[in-house]
Structure 1
Amino acid sequence: MSSFQEALRAGSLEALRTVPKSDLHNHAFGGGNRAWIARATGHDIAPLDKPLNSMTEMHEWVSSRVGRLFDGPQGRLTAFEASLIQAQQDGVSRLEVGEDVWAITLFDDDAAKLTSELRHIHAQTAPEIEWIPQLGMSRHCSLSSLTKWLTPFLDLGFYKTIDLSGDELSQPVETFRSLYRMAKAAGLTLKAHVGEWGDADSVWRAVEQLELDEVQHGIAAAESPQVMRFLSDHKVRLNICPTSNLMLGRVKSLATHPIRRLFDAGVVVTINTDDVLVFGQGVSEEFLNLYRVGLFDAEELETIRVAGLVDPDRSECHSPKM
């Protein structure tokens, strides 16, 4: 029995935090350590204490609780540092996090300048953590703006993944195909937020249209055996955030979370935080919560933990295309 399984069975959060884990779905803006932020800024941000009903309500909550704390270049860097501190204290050894491409506008339109600052913070704060630098894009932004901002980041050859987030219904996923072709040509792992608010078909369509390697959330895929089989066959990993789904009203309870059906269908899944500052649960808590409600046993959660510490094997898989 592994130390991770022993910690789960003992219900020891402290022991779980000593075991290496990944966090592959983390927004630096909301991914920071609450206690460290309170000490560094004098601003204590208490997490959600009841479920919300929409992303609009979440944006309103963030506006009222976080306010302008992370505005401006220094604010963005503080948020990034806080996410590294959170990972350190939770035993996260593999962290996929970065910055939205629009943030270039806060750093004199200089991608190299912003990137240098992020690299310095990582080296000074948590060099022991395997940091997978990610580029984020917001769905509400125009294609022309995203193209302008993305290009200089790709030219650096430093970033490893790209993600699309925001309102799933704001623009058709096809709008962003050219950006994903650019990112694929640059060798980035292709990800997008989909299937958090949309349906199973929206997950399939996004994977095909953008040639995705991974999906952030994707829980709606559990509605369709055909879509789950498609994801399993193409080895598309879903990076799922159970507490986020619960607190945003996307699932009724952790005990009935669709991650169980996805896992049973052979879809590769990982467990992540999304915005620990908002939802109040680190990766260790996420694992322990799923164990306590009986959704998975310790051996199954060990399989999921390990899946996040390695890149998916796609050696026999070709990117899905229309």
Structure 2
Amino acid sequence: MKKNIDKIICLPKGDIHNHLHLGGSIKTFQKKYSDYNIRFPDNYNGLGGMIDFIYNDLNRAMLTGEDVIFFMENAIESSINDNITYLEASVDINLIRFFDQSLDNLLEVVRDLKKKYKNQINFCPDIGINKDLDIKQVYRDGTKCIQSGLFNGIDLYGQEVGKDLTSFVELYQEAEKNNLSKKVHIGEFSNHDTIDYAINILKPNELQHGINAVNSEETMNLILENNIQLNICPQSNISLGTVKNIAEHPIRKLFDYGIKLTVNTDDLILFDATVSDQLINLYENNIFSFEEIDLIRKNAFKD
């Protein structure tokens, strides 16, 4: 077993469900911001509890554009340290508030990051959009991001329950016209009906989480019929209370149903589990064999 664990650590990996400014290691963060004495909990009280921690605790240290750049660099360097060679990470477009409300300034930061780390990692940023962001800003800045040629995909996140997604249809159509991968966060806190709705409305290529599809064969069939990949983050699910423990995680059932899936960090600074950590956890708990782990690892790389 140790030989295979060493292989998992050393093999090149991808992380394609990653929020860039939340993707860095806690250790590196605490070294720079030790004066803030921020304590990271092992578990959060659902999505609301996580959001409260970000706003009330973590954001005390993210006050300037320089702070945001540090958070992003921490994420990329943490990925490199885990032998992540392919990184799709979302850049939240509302981070312009740290850059004089200028999208051009934010895009320049992203370009600089791609250039700085190009010899160490294939960093392919996604356009990150919160569902609660003012829709005028979504289209003003989202469209400009799509047309910039800088981004690999688009990712919509935030509250999952009771959200009308029709406002985002035209933006996703524009993303498709420009050959961007279309992702949407759904089915971690919401039921399988919301997954059906998101698929039918936004026509995504990938679902971020999507684990509650396991409760409906019709939903799993819809995922298969549309060749949709699930980018799953097991430790995030556990820390947020949507899954009790790794043994009860639905990832195995989804895999056995034939759904293509990957394992990712989500927010390393919040959940403190690298891609390697999670793959090893799935292997050590006999959820997957090494050969299956290797297949899941390879799924993160684009064909």
Q: For the superposition of Structure 1 and Structure 2, which TM-score range results when normalised by the shorter chain?
A: over 0.9
The C-alpha deviation readout for 1:210-245, integer Å capped at 9, x for no partner, is 010000000011111111122112210000000000
Aligned amino acid, residue 287 of structure 2: L
Distance 2:282 2:301 in 1: 19
Distance 1:275 1:305 in 2: 18
Q: Does 1:174 align with 2:166?
A: yes
How far did 1:191 drift? 0.4
The C-alpha deviation readout for 1:158-183, integer Å capped at 9, x for no partner, is 21100001011363122211221222
Q: Does 1:54 align with 2:56?
A: no
Hey, what does 2:185 align to over in structure 1? 193
How far did 1:201 drift? 1.6
Hey, what does 2:268 align to over in structure 1? 276
**Residue number among 256, 259, 279 corresponding to 1:264 in the alignment:** 256
Task: Report percent identity of matched pairs.
Answer: 30
The C-alpha deviation readout for 1:223-280, integer Å capped at 9, x for no partner, is 1111112211221000000000011110121112111111011110000011111111
Q: Contact 1:29–1:70 (CA<8 Å) still a contact in 2?
A: no
Distance 2:300 2:290 in 1: 16
**Residue number among 108, 116, 137 corresponding to 1:145 in the alignment:** 137
Q: Which runs of 5+ in 2 are unaligned?
A: none
Q: Contact 2:18–2:266 (CA<8 Å) still a contact in 1?
A: yes
Distance 1:310 1:29 in 2: 23
**Cα RMSD for the two superposed structures:** 2.0
Hey, what does 1:315 align to over in structure 2? none
Q: Does 1:303 align with 2:295?
A: yes
Q: Contact 1:163–1:193 (CA<8 Å) still a contact in 2?
A: yes
Aligned amino acid, residue 127 of structure 2: L
Q: 1:107 to 1:179 in 2, by over 3 A?
A: same
Q: Does 1:30 align with 2:30?
A: no
Distance 1:123 1:46 in 2: 33
- Higher mean alpha-carbon deviation, 71-80 vs 209-218, is at 71-80
Question: After the TM superposition, which parts of structure 1 deviate over 6 Å for at least 4 consecutive aligned residues?
Answer: none
Hey, what does 1:118 align to over in structure 2? 110
Q: Does 1:209 align with 2:201?
A: yes
The C-alpha deviation readout for 1:48-98, integer Å capped at 9, x for no partner, is 32x333211112223444132123322221111010011011111111113
Aligned amino acid, residue 17 of structure 1: I
How far did 1:300 drift? 0.9
- Higher mean alpha-carbon deviation, 35-44 vs 87-96, is at 35-44
Q: Contact 1:162–1:183 (CA<8 Å) still a contact in 2?
A: yes
Q: Does 1:84 align with 2:76?
A: yes
Q: Which runs of 5+ in 1 are unaligned?
A: 1-8, 312-322
Hey, what does 1:136 align to over in structure 2? 128
Aligned amino acid, residue 195 of structure 1: G
- Higher mean alpha-carbon deviation, 282-291 vs 165-174, is at 165-174
**Residue number among 222, 228, 232 corresponding to 2:214 in the alignment:** 222
Q: Does 1:101 align with 2:101?
A: no
Instruction: Summarize the alignment of residues 246-257 of structure 1 with structure 2, pairs less than 5 Å apart.
Output: 246-257=238-249
